[in-house]
Structure 1
Amino acid sequence: MAISAFVDVIVERDVPVPMRDGVRLYADVYRPAEGGPYPVLLLRTPYNKADAQTMNYAHPQWYARHGYVVIVQDTRGRWSSEGEFSPYQREGADGVDTIAWAADLPYAAEKVGMYGFSYCGAVQWLAAAEAPRQLACIAPGMIGSDAYQGKTYTNGAFALAAMQSWVMFAAQDTALRKGRGDWASELNAHYAGIHHFYKKLPLNDPPEPMKELAPYYTEWLRRPLRDDYWASRSLRERYESIRVPALHIGGWYDLFIEGTIENFNGVRGRGANAQAREHQYLFIEPWFHMPWSRYVGELDFGPEAANRIDILQLAWFDWWLKDIRPDEPPPKVRYFEMGRNVWREADSWPPAQASQGERRAAYYLRSASRANSINGDGELSTEPAGDEYPDVYVYHPSIAVPAIGGRSGAVPDLTPMGPKNQLPVEIRNDVLVYTSAPLVEDVAIAGEITFELYAATTAEDTDFVAKLVDVHPDGRAYNIAEGIIRASYRHGLDKRVPVPSGEIIRYAFSLGSVAAAFLKGHAIRLDVTSSLFPTFDRNPNRVANPGEITEADFATATQTIYHDAQRPSRVWLPVVYGT
């Protein structure tokens, strides 16, 4: 049945949905006034059902006018719903109960699809892992694969800005639910001044409202190793349970991009049935976490990067919920190539032409005397080094290098997000800057960037940070990707081993996945330093629990970066074409 753009929509608000334990979760229901039954689109959110994530998506009435029953539900312990909020803990069971309730509505067809991004993406996976028979497909946006790696921690470094800003926001609703308007006001004041709050130590002694209303925050800090606690909360452990097609939506500047890609590949390889394994699709824009737009950070990626997710999702749900198959089979992967600002298609990620070993290009760190800052002589070269002196800089956590843009989340004025000019930090002597000669032709990359670093430190623990940068002909330098490793985690995420003072150690870590073209006349740059604050917490240069550190624990680390024939520090780029 064709649906008119002028179809009347019935809206029912605060509809109770009973859970198996007697708790009632409340939902708003949007449906066409006439006809039916219609398939269901379900959005379960901890961020207020009345908002329905409309910062990024069309309003539920838009989907209802296209022939869907749209149900937007407050998750357990959030906004209008009963129960206590404990992130992710009951979302699987609650999702199953809600799906069964929705499919049984008199005006609903027994086919349910789910959408939503971030936490609302995670609840889709958690419900899908329970294999409810009425769930036909999902469209999770910008969500990770692991509760520890790439979310709460990355290679041992605590994701300070993302975690603190999220917890502080989430706790405000909990305060109001408990009748503590004073706590909500206090949290809001800290939220407004969060750039000052990031510096407050120790991390495990937050203001009383955070401590009382969000005990999970201090629990995360007590668990800096990836143990069974984290494994039990991770999606990557449950790919074998997924039985439905999924449209994975990601962004190159989103903090969850690696997890989004892992979810896509994980279900393709390990899904519970052929339908799931054969019908995973990946769609990657140049966006950060939110809002979704062609304008990201300081760059305009052009009209091709405009937000068309609702049209994409409508075709997706029409396919799996209404059996309206696309005229042409869609590509498994559609990704946006930054720089050229064009769309590419592939059958896999990474694209086949970038996954072959001979296409991985090594760019070597070089310097004649010192690579400190853009005033130094650091060079990024395809020619290996011979006999060269190492570069030396000093890191002290009291004067950490600030993160300018990048892959944090979730609000750009609160956390470091997106492409931004890196010159304000590249003038510092505690940032080593290695820049290629201007390119004589375009160099495009698509895949994972890895960094092989030979370094020594005088501290028992420290961080090493690397940032890939696109240098424009006029000198502006925009971050493309970034990575960090906490040295004491070099043997794995489940243990910490102090670093012997002065010992030269090989570190290998990822700067993440990306698709970007460095254009002719531009240059490729790699920045190396030891902090990315407040995206990550400041390493005190000691082996200590991140929640317990105070300024009294800060120590100085002298870092030596080697780049010679025996110790060839280099970044590996997945070149698609060019040299």
Structure 2
Amino acid sequence: MRRPASALFALLVTTAILHAQQPKTDARFERTEAMIPMRDGKKLFTTVHAPKDPKGPVAIVLLRTPYGIDGRTERLFRDYFKEMIDDGYAFVLQDIRGRFKSEGTFVMTRPARDPKDPKAVDEASDTSDTIDWLLKEVKNNNGRVGMLGISYPGWLAAVAMLDPHPALKAVSPQASPVDMFLGDDFHHNGAFRLSYGFEYVAMMETDKSNFSFKFDKHDTYEWYLKLGALSNVNRLHFKNTLPTWNDFVAHPNYDTFWKTQSLEPRLTKVTVPTLNVAGWYDQEDFRGPLKIYELLEKHDTKNQNFLVVGPWNHGGWGGGKADKLGRIPFDSATGERFRKEIQAPFFAHYLKDVGRDAPPEARMFQTGANKWETYDSWPPKGVVSRKLHFHPKGKLSFDPPAEGAPEADEYVSDPANPVPYRPRPVRPTYPGPEWPEWMVQDQRFTHGRPDVLSYETEPLTEDVVVAGSMKVKLFGSTSGTDCDWIVRLIDVYPDDYTKPADLAGSQLLIAGEPVRARFRKSLEKPEPVKPGAVEEYTIDLNWGHHRFRKGHKIMVQVSSTWFPVIDRNPQKFVPNIFEAVDGDFQKATQRVYHTPKFASHIALDVLKAK
């Protein structure tokens, strides 16, 4: 989760640098340190940055983080908070419980406390106790507090919003996870995010401060392949000492452990004005902010729940211009615009009574067209579901499959030679330079592999504008008793593309997700697949807002591995993949069907092009 890849947090894991830096204070602010007591007696390290020359009572803006606040102030004021400084706030930063200089024990995404126990703690209670202290100790405050943050700090803001202090008047959970089994950092639809989960846990729990796992190979694809089965992780490396990894092993299915952490059942009312923020190319927490918005929207009777999605990777709006990502240009400084025209006015409106109008319901960047759109609802009114069907010989068409055509395509999936999720060498997630940009890397590196099926349209004769749901219905069979299906939606640029020319013929990933066959009927109670049986799988690619341009082609790729971002399925049913051994892994023949009865397709919410 949680480590944004933006300029704001680019040095999260370089702990030595953070601690070598002396705390710097912006000349406009008076910096004070405090150890704020919590209800159970533990104290949390906090810095308060109050304006030296306030123009009246100031509101308080709070950011809580597990990543360490020493050395962070200068960058926050230069980037993330820059457009808010002149509005008059006292900015407060805090190390959460058990991290860096704060006391107590760190618990990854700590579950909600027992409300019957007055001394029980969770992140909401720690936030509430902090706000109590701030209202008493921060001079000349106006009694209002706002909270924001990206990734884990965004999750902390969301948790505080669910059980808010009365003075909490505006919250912006940005790139917040919502459920760690269904679709955020550690699992997607129950499939384990291996390289991310392994490296993040090593970073967060090997020491109280950030630590990067030291690989002995330049290509971590090769390292993870040599590692073998997940049962080798504790035996060779973690030695049963890291709590979160042990939780992965003990809870391979969607049981009470994961459900207790999930925010989804708790999103039953809008408690304070909420600005949800996401990035279309978020490589860590894309589903979370969208799901928070979607669930809150069902209860938004006062028009206080808002959504912004830009063309960003994880936290890419937090600093810098964000006018491009990798080779993909956005034609404007989208990050600066967000901070100046959306984030700053949101907090000024609800904390300072500046500006008469509430924000628009949804401000969505349309990738492919490189423009912002504003909608009164999301998904917008007027969308129509259109199905692109799989056909023999790699064809993809809005026409349904015909009788009598070949019924399926097949390939052999070999766990010993998995499909990489980005071009090799796959350098470490932290602090590897490719991780922040892999979702916009050219997908041609897998096109043509014998274990990857590609279906693509003819060049489009008109623009196709996706605005909302993107769901795949895949009818497939396997010769094994378990398998994964990985589906990717891709925009194929024409060979004569010139803006810029280096994108000619490239394949841009729009969305990609895995499903694990063992969970096809139940996430709680997995069961094996009958070899050769045709099963229906739904792969939710979440929301999108992309314009496939005239002359481009739409492609869908299907494979059964995506390594090492997703762990390898043994392709033989075992009770717990985390306890599988090397001998459990086997080749399997996979078949994808495209008949009138078993019509594999992708359904897209499409707007009329304008």
Shift of residue 241, structure 1, vs aligned partner? 5.4
Partner residue of 1:164 out of 198, 215, 226: 198
Q: 1:288 to 1:280 in 2, by over 3 A?
A: same
Q: 1:439: how far off?
A: 0.8
Q: 1: distance between equivalents of 2:194 and 2:76?
A: 24
Deviations 1:521-566 (A, max 9, x none): 1011111111111221111102232222333211111011111122
* Partner of residue 11, structure 2: none
Give the letter for the 1:394 counterpart: V
1:461 aligns with 2:482: yes
- Tell me the alpha carbon deviations over residues 403-446 of structure 1, each in whole angstroms, 9 at most, x when there is no partner: 1289x988663647321211110120111111100011111111
| Aligned counterpart, 1:514 | 544
Matched, 1:436 2:457: yes
In structure 1, what is the Cα distance between the partners aligned to 2:30 and 2:238?
A: 36
Residues 380-391 of structure 1 aligned to structure 2 (within 5 Å): 380-386=396-402, 387-389=404-406, 390-391=408-409
d(CA) in 2 for partners of 1:247 and 1:190?
A: 43
Q: 1:192 to 1:23 in 2, by over 3 A?
A: farther
Partner residue in 1 for 2:159: 126
Length-normalised TM-score, structure 2:
0.84
- Structure 2 counterparts to residues 420-431 of structure 1, below 5 A: 420-431=441-452
- 2:264 aligns to what? 236
Once the two structures are overlaid, the 10-residue window that deviates more, 298-307 or 251-260, is 298-307
Deviation at 1:279, TM superposition (A): 0.6
Residues 175/411 of structure 1: CA separation in 2 closer, same or farther (3 Å cut) = closer
Indicate conservation of the 8 Å contact 1:9/1:64, yes or no: no
Which of 482, 491, 504 matches 2:512?
482
User: Does 2:386 align with 1:366?
Assistant: no
Structure 2 match to 1:315: 345
- Give runs of aligned pairs for residues 485-564 of structure 1, distance below 5 A: 485-544=515-574, 545-564=576-595
Q: Aligned-pair distance for 1:169? A: 2.0
Contact 1:261 1:349 in 2 (8 A): no
2:76 is aligned with 1:44 = no
Q: Secondary structure at the match of 1:535?
A: coil
Contact map agreement 1:52 1:59 (CA 8 A) in 2: no
TM-score normalised to structure 1 length: 0.88
CA drift at 1:33: 0.8
SS at match of 1:229: helix
Is the CA contact 1:456–1:560 (under 8 Å) kept in the aligned structure 2? yes
For residue 517 of structure 1, report the CA deviation from its aligned partner: 0.5
| 2:266 aligned counterpart, secondary structure | helix
Give the C-alpha shift of residue 290 in structure 1. 3.9
Give the 3 Å change call, closer, same or farther, for CA 148–570 of structure 1 in structure 2: same
Give, in angstroms, the shift of residue 8 of structure 1. 4.7
**Counterpart of 1:404 in structure 2: which amino acid?**
R
Provide the C-alpha distance between the structure 1 equivalents of 2:273 and 2:365, rounded to a whole number of angstroms.
22
Determine if the alignment matches structure 1 residue 257 to structure 2 residue 303. Answer: no
> Aligned equivalents of 1:57 and 1:388: distance in 2?
61
Q: State the Cα distance separating 1:159 from its structure 2 match.
A: 1.5
Distance in 1 (CA, whole Å) between partners of 2:396 and 2:94 is: 51
Q: Which residue of 1 aligns with 2:41?
A: 22
Give CA-to-partner distance per residue, 1:297-346, whole Å, 9 cap, x none. 431122153443332222111111111124x5431000011111111111
- 1:174·1:213 contact (CA, 8 Å) conserved in 2? no
CA distance in 1, matches of 2:105, 2:160: 19
Unaligned ranges ≥5, structure 2:
1-25, 111-121, 496-504
Give the secondary structure class of the aligned counterpart of 2:267.
helix
For the 8 Å contact 1:165–1:191, the answer to whether it is kept is no
Of 405, 409, 412, 1:394 maps to: 412
Alpha carbons 2:487, 2:539 under 8 Å: kept = no
Query: Equivalent pairs: percent with the same residue?
Result: 30
Q: Is it true that 1:413 corresponds to 2:457 in the alignment?
A: no
Amino acid at match of 1:455: G
CA distances 1:214-266 after superposition (whole Å, capped 9, x unpaired): 31122023212112211111111111354111100101111422221111121
Segment of structure 1 superposing worse, 39-48 or 299-308: 299-308
Are the structure 2 counterparts of residues 101 and 134 from structure 1 closer, same or farther at C-alpha, using a change threshold of 3 Å? same
The counterpart of 1:220, out of the listed 240, 244, 248, is: 248
Matched letter for residue 91 of structure 1: E
> Residue 34 of structure 2: SS of its match in structure 1?
strand
In the other structure, the counterpart of 2:422 is 404
Distance apart, 1:70 and its partner CA: 0.3
The match for 2:88 among 60, 67, 75 is 67
Mapped partners of 1:554, 1:155: distance in 2: 21
Going from structure 1 to structure 2, the CA distance change for 1:58 and 1:246 (only over 3 Å counts) comes to same
Q: 1:543 to 1:92 in 2, by over 3 A?
A: farther
Contact persistence 2:67–2:209 (CA under 8 A): no
* Partners of 2:83 and 2:461 in 1: CA distance: 48
Aligned counterpart in structure 1 of residue 228 of structure 2, from 183, 198, 201? 201
Structure 1 residue 34: Cα displacement:
2.9
CA distance, structure 2, for counterparts of residue 234 and residue 191 of structure 1: 36
User: What is the CA distance between 1:163 and its match in structure 2?
Assistant: 1.6
Identify if the C-alpha distance between structure 1 residues 127 and 210 changes in structure 2 by more than 3 Å, giving closer, same or farther.
Answer: farther
* Cα contact 2:280–2:310 (8 A) shared by 1: yes
Which of 453, 468, 478 is the equivalent residue of 1:447? 468
Contact 2:316 2:335 in 1 (8 A): no
2: distance between equivalents of 1:121 and 1:280?
A: 15
The equivalent residue for 1:570 is 601
- CA–CA distance in structure 2, aligned partners of residues 18 and 190 of structure 1: 43
Letter in 2 for 1:300: P
Which has the larger displacement, 443-452 or 303-312?
A: 303-312
The amino acid that maps onto 1:332 is E
Label 1:521 to 1:174 Cα distance change in 2 as closer, same or farther (>3 A): same
Q: Tell me the distance in 2 between the aligned counterparts of 1:55 and 1:498.
A: 50
- For residues 70 and 22 of structure 1, what CA distance do their matches in structure 2 show? 24
- 1:374 corresponds to: none
Per-residue CA distance 1:130-170 (angstroms, 9 max, x = gap):
22111111011111222321022222211223222222222
Match of residue 111 from structure 1: 144
Task: Work out whether residues 333 and 349 of structure 1, in 8 Å CA contact, stay in contact via their aligned partners in 2.
Answer: yes
Q: Do the aligned partners of residues 490 and 43 (structure 1) sit closer, same or farther apart at CA in structure 2, a change above 3 Å counting? A: same
| Offset, 1:99 | 1.6
1:304/1:336 Cα in 2 relative to 1: closer, same or farther (>3 Å)?
farther
Q: Distance in 2 between matches of 1:393 and 1:433?
A: 11
The alignment yields a C-alpha RMSD, in angstroms, of: 2.7
Match of residue 51 from structure 2: 32
- Whichever residue aligns with residue 391 of structure 1, its letter is D
Q: Secondary structure at the match of 1:417?
A: helix
Taking a change above 3 Å as real, the CA distance of residues 193 and 394 of structure 1, as seen in their structure-2 partners, is closer
What per-residue deviation string (whole Å, max 9, x for no partner) do you get for residues 468-499 of structure 1?
A: 11011112111111121111111121111110
Amino acid at match of 1:127: A
Conservation of the 8 A alpha-carbon contact between 2:240 and 2:246: no
